[in-house]
Structure 1
């Protein structure tokens, strides 16, 4: 079972044994825009969901706090997201980057989500401490062709996505709202013309009320070619 550890603003450390990992998809708050995005993806051969928003179970060991992500080929990329983490006494909010296999995505979104990790930040906020101003929290992603992400590829706020409380209700309906459940939010639009197949990724959430930020950063390492 995967163990994660998060530092809260007051210095408290929260340890979590991940039992369920879930990736939300097509989770924009404006579902008309979501449908337009589905149509765009269909032109690229990516199969559309049977319903929106979607939720994909992912192997729990793919919830990771790492600085390197190992992939099998060059067509993989991250996605700027937030993550909901249920602990014994709190619900935490942190930053995440859902690394996705784009070659596999055309065969099945759920399959592509299980091909690479969901990389989570090492710091988190208590959801109750930011709930009243969630929509003001920014969500940004950067990519880089070297080890340093230096080009902005995603720039939005949590207002663009369905809320943590929405997903907590979904988890409750499915009997999954218990300690050890981690849900990744789904992502926001990428900037056109920026190469997402990058060497490095960084995602950051910033709270304008407190001035605090959460971030996660990693480099992508391509594994050696297989024999056979």
Structure 2
């Protein structure tokens, strides 16, 4: 994959993709979400946070992804990329099949492509203010972009803690690794949309990364 960092293009061949789940700092809010999902048949997590492994080939910068059926949706997340002794912060969407999620969260993470922006920020340039970084997403409904998610990284467990718990340093010895780091609740509830827009902003500098993608629904044949 090619990423742009401060005008320099980086060619990074990913060997590993990790999807971190249940990463919120507010334990009461996590438990509330666990209870909500349990009510629709989703098995509660064995621990929080959890680190799901997915195929590295799922990460894509394409403006269009294909999904089977109409039960998938995106969620904006910080993306940590680590390779060759360097680390960057980027932006991605953990697009997930919600129907399959009721059967297996791990499989639901594996079945969908994971769109990401083609820009990265050098880790050291934001490391001292990660909690201030703002993530937002929108879905395209009834001909307009509707706010879907919004929050700062202060609502997610410290990224350095997630990096250590996931063992990213060990994984990176075997090749480049990327990790999606969790998300925020959806305004109006989790729901599918034909198009998804996401952005990450640094209030201290005004820098912004964004990415839009469309979802093409393939027929679900029984």
State TM-score, norm by structure 1. Answer: 0.91
- Equivalenced residues, count: 221
Match of 1:19 in 2: 15
Q: CA deviation at 1:162?
A: 1.5
Q: Distance in 2 between matches of 1:129 and 1:42?
A: 40
When structure 1 is superposed on structure 2, of 215-224 and 167-176 the one drifting more is 167-176
Higher strand share: 2
Deviation by residue 1:174-195 (Cα, 9 ceiling, x = unmatched): 82244411100111111125x6
Match of 2:83 in 1: 87
Runs (4+) of structure 1 exceeding 6 A deviation are none
Q: Distance in 2 between matches of 1:173 and 1:92?
A: 13
Q: Distance in 1 between matches of 2:5 and 2:117?
A: 11
Contact between 1:171 and 1:177, CA under 8 Å: does it hold in 2? no
Deviation by residue 1:97-145 (Cα, 9 ceiling, x = unmatched): 1110011000010010011011111001011110111111111010003
Q: Distance in 2 between matches of 1:69 and 1:116?
A: 8
RMSD in angstroms over aligned alpha carbons? 1.8
Match of 1:157 in 2: 152
State TM-score, norm by structure 2. Answer: 0.93
Match of 1:180 in 2: 176
Match of 1:133 in 2: 129
Q: 1:207 to 1:175 in 2, by over 3 A?
A: same
- Unpaired runs of 5+ residues, structure 2, are none
Q: Name the SS for the 1:176 alignment partner.
A: helix
- Unpaired runs of 5+ residues, structure 1, are none
